Chain A
Amino acid sequence: MQMNDFVVRFAGEGGQGVVTSAEGLAQASTQVGYHALTYATFPSQILGGPTWTQARIRTEPVLSSGDEVDVLVAFNEEAYETHAEEVREGGVIIYNADDFTMTDPRSFGLAIDTLARSTGNNRAANMVVIGALAQLVHMPQEYLEDFVEARFRRGRDNDDEIISSNIEAMRLGRQHAAESGFVLGDLAPPNPPDYTQMMLKGNEAISLGATHAGLKFYAGYPISPATTILLWMERNLVGEDKFAYQVSSEIEAITAILGAGFAGKKSMTATAGPGISLMSEGLGLAWMAEIPLVVVDVQRGGPATGLPTKTEQSDLMGCLFPAHGDVRMPVIAPGSVEECFYAAAHALNWAERYQGPVILMSEMSMAERVQNIPRPDLSKIPVEERLAYEGGNGYHRYSGHELSPMPLPGGPGAYVANGSEHDEMGDTTHLPSRHIQMTERRFSKLKLLEEEQYESDNSEARIALMPWGGSKGPVREAYDQLRAEGVDIGWYYSMFLHPIPPKLREELRAKELVIVPELNYQGQWANVLRFHRVNSTPITQYTGLPFKVSDLVARVKEIMSEHTEAARV
């Protein structure tokens, strides 16, 4: 049987190689031209704890982590008991025979560590697993050998030894799988893309995109799942005019980047929901005093400490309206690892363009998953600079109802960037006419951020699907299935949540119904759309996990039939 899609779940204890095995399989597969995505979920502790990662390999680009598990690799008994139900009919379970034994007829044992040790390379355990998996779908051995060669050939004296032990580990895994008699089918040969690819996580894509857009200053505080951006910056945002630093709280992070933004540097921080709460007053100051900066919110489950290592899309309201008073933050929410790169560059451009704070919303499931993406062509991604003041002294920085040039400390045009309501020079005032002028000025600048482009498909349909953020992938997969079944439904998507592209808003308003699948209880984006006078209804999920495509397909059909019924009555 030919297979185009191969989903493997690796489950066990933290530290058993669950993540490295999944990422190894994904890397080996993309190396030879398949597309791959991993989905990881971690326990909130340093060592151990139940963890699992899913890798999905396809001949076409991967949109979601996959509903149907073809193979479960259970590193311990608890993992088997927790995940066995998820294995599809006809699927296979590989259990770690070094840890436990069992008699499930769908399973065979693999003495993962013993086999690795027999090659003389204790670290080759994940290669034993990858070899066994390759056998189950008849992935040719040379694919794996190419991967091992590419991964371990680093010009060291013992390269040959490392490579041959890893290949031997794969061969042993393959041999044991063959002896088990289980076969899933033949994975279709890859269809290698004709462009250069990168394999990375969402947080890495954000870091790279921001750096391309000219990021010079980063201050952050450790918080899951945003910490990896801080670590990346400390290692890579280095050099004469660059600064990356771990400060003492999220309050320090927002105020430090605010100082840097005021001083003329493109600045950013990244955090998760609890950090957004602590940054809210600082965000209000950036809005009020008109200071460019970017805050990345890598969402996790909330409120309070919530679910630190699970995924959710429940910070939307908190990001649109983080501060007290009359504010509405510009928000960009990428929908894939690839979009994370472009969205970060866009967020920095927006901050400079309108001279104020911009929030970039990602989420745990995107931050931690590895995916292959086309390598961005930097020459095609514009980098914007702020409108800088170039005149003499005596300048009124806040004059008028619209954006005005921003003076740079050290040069002429000194002013006070003021978080109190202020006059044109930045001095505090309480006059009604000034509060009117300045409030209108701050909101009018948002017009500069209204973009043209958005995604749409089958735009004639009266009912449309519109996901946001990281739910884009599974919703698109569900949409493609619905369309293939002949369901008349439209597709809309934009990473620009506020301001929403005006033409998109007009199109959505003309729909009978817009269905919004999102990972929160209240249907936050659906509510925002209602505020825009769009007739929207949410599909909500609040499990801490991403959507399953099959669930989405069923629930969309249900809503559509209810809608038709209601129309008939």
Chain B
Amino acid sequence: MSKKNPEYDFKWCPGCGDFGVRRALEFAMINRLEETGLPIENNVVVAGIGCSGNLVHLLEGEQPYGIHGIHGRTLPVAMGIKSARPELNVIVVAGDGDFLSIGGEHIAPQAARNVNLTAVIMDNGVYGLTKGQSSPTTEMGAITSSTPFGKIEEDLDPLELYLTLGVSFIASGFSGQPRVLARLINEGMNHEGMSMIHVQSPCVTYNDTYQLIKGNAKEGIAPALWDIPDDHDPSDKRAAEDLVRQGGLPVGVIYKDETRQSLDANMGIIRSKARERTVEQLMDAYTF
């Protein structure tokens, strides 16, 4: 919403990482407007359910279109929008619970189709809105409201997952760096295919990881965050795999495959092979 709406009663906690992601997405949409001349309403933001999904209502300034749908289904909704209207810029915003748990089944098929969309995932390693349950990225052993004796599942590495499933553009960032993040989102938008921008966006209430990410010299905590060096070749999948296995929170583009066509482009192959017929012509096949 462009200005304060008294009826809208949702708030992020002060200090929530999602504020920075919102800022980054606003920057990215404005950059895109400046680059392409296409109005903000050319963007469609498909939001998941959870704290992160509320981003679609909290955007300031010129408003894009949005869908705030049902839990876990951002990707197929986005696929429908993009395939129906390829000229639109389709952005997914969701959290780790929505996208990786209930919505996990949709990542592989969209990656295989290489749907031309940009997904910005706000990973806080916890279900925040439902008050602190464990999510796929919650660390093993962690005590949460739903794992009172410690989490006994291995935690998921989303970056490795995206690589394994064949996502054609993978970047990683931190909500505390909105300008850097905006650049990554723009690069994802410009990539012809499925782009994942995986963002560490801490939950100050249930899983405050700011100190771990940024480090604390006084307490002897080294920052998890590190910039991907300029000499990393994102077109090299092996290098991307090695990079992801170094752990911590890499910032930058991890992997980028520009050799693949997007679903929209591949539909052109079908269109060139199939013969389009009018309804009358289609009916002729059954007429005697």
A417 touches B68 (CB 8 A): yes
Q: How many whole Å from B103's CB to the nearest CB in chain A?
A: 10
User: Mind listing 21 A-B residue pairs with CB under 8 Å?
Assistant: A199-B286, A199-B288, A208-B282, A236-B282, A238-B274, A248-B105, A249-B105, A255-B69, A255-B70, A256-B83, A258-B80, A259-B82, A260-B80, A260-B83, A263-B80, A376-B283, A393-B41, A410-B85, A411-B41, A414-B66, A429-B7
How would residues 58 to 82 of chain B score, 1 for a CB under 8 Å from any chain A CB and 0 otherwise?
0000011111111001001111111
A535 in the interface (beta carbon within 8 A): no
A263 touches B85 (CB 8 A): yes
Q: How many whole Å from A212's CB to the nearest CB in chain B?
A: 5
B279 touches A212 (CB 8 A): yes
B57 in the interface (beta carbon within 8 A): yes
A274 in the interface (beta carbon within 8 A): no
B282 touches A260 (CB 8 A): no
Q: How many whole Å from B161's CB to the nearest CB in chain A?
A: 17
Contact for A198 among B63, B84, B287, CB less than 8 A: B287
The 7 closest A-B pairs by CB, nearest first: A259-B80, A256-B80, A260-B84, A416-B66, A239-B276, A238-B274, A259-B81
A247 and B288 CA atoms in complex are apart in Å by 35
B287 touches A196 (CB 8 A): yes
Q: How many whole Å from A430's CB to the nearest CB in chain B?
A: 6
A182 in the interface (beta carbon within 8 A): no
Q: How many whole Å from B114's CB to the nearest CB in chain A?
A: 13
Residues of chain B within 8 A of A427, CB atoms compared: 1, 5, 7-8, 57
Tell me which residues from 176 to 214 in chain A have a Cβ below 8 Å from any Cβ of chain B: 196-200, 204, 208, 211-212
A409 touches B81 (CB 8 A): yes
**Given A248-B105, A248-B109, A252-B106, A428 contacting B287 (CB threshold 8 A):** no
B40 touches A262 (CB 8 A): no
Tell me which residues from 233 to 288 in chain B have a Cβ below 8 Å from any Cβ of chain A: 267, 270-271, 274-277, 279-280, 282-283, 286-288
B56 in the interface (beta carbon within 8 A): yes
Residues of chain B within 8 A of A416, CB atoms compared: 47, 56-57, 65-68
Binds B, one of A40-48, A158-166, A418-426: A418-426
A425 and B288 CA atoms in complex are apart in Å by 53
Q: How many whole Å from B110's CB to the nearest CB in chain A?
A: 9
Residues of chain B within 8 A of A240, CB atoms compared: 271, 276
B209 in the interface (beta carbon within 8 A): no
Contact for A263 among B69, B81, B105, B288, CB less than 8 A: B81
Residues of chain B within 8 A of A284, CB atoms compared: 70
Closest to A256 in B: B80
Residues of chain A within 8 A of B73, CB atoms compared: 251, 255, 282
Tell me which residues from 253 to 280 in chain A have a Cβ below 8 Å from any Cβ of chain B: 255-265, 267
- B interface residues, tally (CB under 8 Å): 54
Residues of chain B within 8 A of A393, CB atoms compared: 41, 63
Residues of chain B within 8 A of A410, CB atoms compared: 41-42, 65, 85, 87-88
**Given A217-B84, A256-B83, A429-B8, A208 contacting B283 (CB threshold 8 A):** yes
Residues of chain B within 8 A of A199, CB atoms compared: 286, 288
Residues of chain A within 8 A of B41, CB atoms compared: 393, 409-414
Closest to A412 in B: B41
A284 and B70 CA atoms in complex are apart in Å by 9
Q: How many whole Å from B51's CB to the nearest CB in chain A?
A: 12
A425 touches B283 (CB 8 A): no
A216 in the interface (beta carbon within 8 A): yes
B54 in the interface (beta carbon within 8 A): yes
A423 touches B288 (CB 8 A): no
B69 touches A419 (CB 8 A): yes
A415 touches B65 (CB 8 A): yes
A245 and B271 CA atoms in complex are apart in Å by 12
Tell me which residues from 1 to 56 in chain A have a Cβ below 8 Å from any Cβ of chain B: 27, 30-31
New A-B contacts (4) at CB < 8 Å, excluding given A199-B288, A256-B79: A235-B274, A259-B67, A263-B84, A410-B42
A216 and B42 CA atoms in complex are apart in Å by 20
Q: How many whole Å from A368's CB to the nearest CB in chain B?
A: 15
**Given A258-B77, A419-B70, A414 contacting B64 (CB threshold 8 A):** yes
Residues of chain B within 8 A of A248, CB atoms compared: 105-106, 108-109
Residues of chain A within 8 A of B270, CB atoms compared: 238
Q: Most chain-A CB neighbours within 10 Å: which of B109, B270, B286?
A: B286
B76 touches A256 (CB 8 A): yes
A263 touches B7 (CB 8 A): no
Residues of chain B within 8 A of A242, CB atoms compared: 276
B171 in the interface (beta carbon within 8 A): no
Residues of chain A within 8 A of B81, CB atoms compared: 259-260, 262-263, 409
A317 in the interface (beta carbon within 8 A): no
